Structure 1
C-alpha cells in the first residue's frame, strides 16, 4: 500500500471508531445497547445518509480503492473472530443443570417454532424473496437466522432488569445458548454446502463433519487445554502470554473450520464455548477480563459500523419483506419460547417474559446476516431486512420485559 492509501485506511478506522463511540454513548444514555448506536453510526456514514445527501464527501472518505477495502475487510474479519469468541464465553452450560425441564422445553419451543416458521415463510412465499438459485438453502438459513438470539444483548438486558440471577433469567440465558449452538451448527452446515466442490455432498456426511469438528474443538478445549492453563504457572504470572495463547487458539480454530468447509467464525465461537465452561471461576474471569474489553470496545464497534456502511436502507429497503421478517421473527420466538416455558411449569406472565427475553437478536444476528451476504446466499434486500429485524427486536425487547416483570416484582419483592 502507498502512504496515501495508508492514510485513507487510518482515517476510515479513526472515523468509524469516533462515530461508534459517539452513537454508542447516545444509545446507552437512552437505555439501549451500544450496538444499536454503532449500527446507526454506520448508516449515518454509509450510502443511506451521507452517500445520499453528500455523495462527494462520502466518496472522499470511502473511495473505491481495492487495496484499502481489502485491508479494512481483513481487519474486520479478525475482529469478527474475537467478537464471536467473546460471545462463546457467554455460553455457560451450568444453567442447564439447574432447571433442566423448563430449559429443555423452552429451548425446543424457542428454537423449533421460529425455525419452522422461517422455513415456511420462504417455501410458501417464494416471490417475496426474488429469484434464488438455492431456495432450499435460503429457507433453511432464514429459519436458522430467526431461531438465533443475541447472548451479549440478552445478558445486558437481564442485568439491567435485575433478572440475571432469577429463574426467568437462567431460563432465558440457557435457552438462548442452546438455540444459538443449534442455529450456528445449522448455519455451519449451510456454509459447508455452499463451499466450492461441496454442492452435491451428502447431507449426513456434511452434518457429521460439522458435529465432529464441534466435538473436537470443545473436547480439546475443555479436557486438554484448560488443565494445561491451570497447571502452567507462567500464565498466571504473565497475563499477556495467556492472551497470546488464546488468540493463537482462536485463529487456529478458524483455520480448521475454513479447512472443513465451515466459516472461521464457527471455530472461534466454539473455542469461546469451550473456555466458558471453566471450573475455576478466577481463571474464567481472567479470560473474560482480557478478551472482552478489546473485543467488545474496539473490534465490535468497527464491525457494526461497517455493517451500516454496507446496508443501503434508502435503495434496498423492501417494506413488505422487512415487515414479514419482523413479524415472523417476533411471533416465532415469543410464541415458541413462551409456550415451552409455560409447559415447563412457569406462570403465564413469567413464560411470556421468557419469550420476550429470547426475542432480542442484535449483534449476533447481524454477524450471521453479514456472512450470508458475503457468501452470496442472500442479497442486499434480505440483508437489510435481517438487519432491520435485529435492530427492531433489540429495541422493543428491553421495554417490554420491564413492563412484564414489574407486577412480578411487586408480588415477589
Structure 2
C-alpha cells in the first residue's frame, strides 16, 4: 500500500465513521434502531444518490479492496457477538407457545419464500435453481436477534412473558436459519457437498466438547479481581473466533459460521461476567468502525436508481411475503400456543425484525453468486423496511399496555378491542429474561 492509498483509506474511514454516526443518531431521534440509519448511510454513499462516478471517486477500487478486508473482520466480530448473545438457556423449558411460534414463524416464510423464488429466478439468476430457491427461502425466514433484544430492552419488555417468549423464538429461529444457510451455501457452491457436511458436524461437536471447556479453563488463568476477563483472555477469544471463521471458510461454508459457532460456545462465567466483559471489549471496535465499513460497502452495491417497473413489482411481492409470512406464521403459532390476540400480534411484529443479520445473509448470497445486484438491492430495501416497521407496529399493538404487560385503564365510555382483556394463560415454563444486555452493533 503506497502513500496515496494510505491517504485515501484514512479519508474514506473518516467519512464512513462521520456519516454512519450522524445517520445512526438521526435514526434514534426518530425512534428507530441506529442500524437503520447506518445502513441508509451506506446506501447514501453508493450509486443510488451519488452516481457511479462520484461514488467511485470517493471509494476507488483499490481502496474498496482494503475496506473489504476490514469489513470481513467486522462481520466476523459481529457474528461472534450474535452467537454469544444467543442465550441457549432460553431454549430450556420453553413452553408450547415458544415452540409453536418458532416453528410457524420459520416454516411459513421458508415455504412462501421458496414459492416466490421460482417466478424471480428467470430475471435474477442463472445456473442451478436449487441453490437460489433454498437461499431465497432462508433469507425470508431470518430474524435479527440482536436488534430484537435491543428493541425489547428499550421498551421495558425484557422481564415480561412477551419479551422472554420473543427472545426464545428468535433464538430458535436463528439456530434454524444459520444451520439451513450452511447447507444452502454448500449446495449453491457445488461439489464435495458430502465431504463438507461430513466435516462440519464433527467440527461443531469439537467446539462444544473441547473448545468450550478450554475457554472456561483459560478464563481462570487470566482472571483479574471482580470476575471479568483479562486482556490475555480477550486476545485469545479474538484469535479463536478468527481461526474458527478460517476453518469453516476452508471447509467451503463461510467464515461467518465459524465466528457464530465460536460465540455460541463462549462460556458465560459467573452471572455472565466473563461473557459480558469480553463483549464490552469487542463491541466498541466492531460497532463504531468495522460494521459501518461493512454498511458502506454493502450500500455501494445497492443501486435503486436503475430499478424499473418490474423490479418495483418484485419488491412489492418480496415485502408481502417477508412481512406476511413472518407475521402470520408468528401470529398463528402464538395463538395455537395459547397467547391472546394482542401478544400474538406483538410477536408477529417483533419477529419481523431483520436488521444487520439479514444484511450479512444477503452479503453471503451476493458473494457466492446466488443473488445478482438488482435482487440484492431489493432485498436490502426489504431488510431496512421490515426493521423500521417493527417499532411503530409494536407501538400500535401495545398502545394500551404498560411496560410490565398490564393493560392501562381507559377513559369511561371506551371499549377494549377484541381479546384485549383476555388474560394470558399461566406459563410456568417461560424462561427468565437474560441478565446480559443485548449486543449494540445492530
1:391 is paired with a residue whose SS is helix
1:169 maps onto 2:163 in alignment: yes
Shift in alpha-carbon separation, 1:399–1:126, aligned structure 2, 3 A: closer
Shift in alpha-carbon separation, 1:337–1:230, aligned structure 2, 3 A: farther
Q: Distance in 1 between matches of 2:257 and 2:125?
A: 28
- Which of 251, 262, 265 pairs up with 2:242? 251
- Which of 97, 103, 108 pairs up with 2:103? 108
Residues 7-406 of structure 1: matches in 2 within 5 Å? 7-51=7-51, 55=53, 57-64=54-61, 66=62, 68-123=63-118, 125-126=119-120, 129-195=123-189, 198-199=190-191, 201-202=193-194, 206-233=196-223, 239-275=230-266, 277-278=268-269, 280-316=271-307, 318-406=311-399
Structure 2, unaligned runs of 5 or more = 409-442
2:305 is paired with a residue whose SS is coil
8 A contact 2:353–2:387 mirrored in 1:
yes
Q: Distance in 2 between matches of 1:59 and 1:146?
A: 31
Q: Distance in 2 between matches of 1:223 and 1:71?
A: 36
1:5 maps onto 2:5 in alignment: yes
Cα RMSD after superposing both structures: 2.2
Shift in alpha-carbon separation, 1:411–1:229, aligned structure 2, 3 A: closer
TM norm structure 2:
0.85
The structural deviation recorded for 1:221 is 3.9
The structural deviation recorded for 1:344 is 1.3
8 A contact 1:76–1:303 mirrored in 2:
yes
The structural deviation recorded for 1:224 is 3.2
Output one character per residue of 1:357-390: Cα deviation in whole Å (capped at 9) or x when no partner: 0011111000110121011111011111110110
Shift in alpha-carbon separation, 1:126–1:382, aligned structure 2, 3 A: closer
Q: Distance in 2 between matches of 1:33 and 1:167?
A: 23
The structural deviation recorded for 1:336 is 0.8
Higher mean displacement: 275-284 or 91-100: 275-284
Q: Distance in 1 between matches of 2:229 and 2:177?
A: 37
Output one character per residue of 1:321-360: Cα deviation in whole Å (capped at 9) or x when no partner: 2111111011111111111111111111111111110011
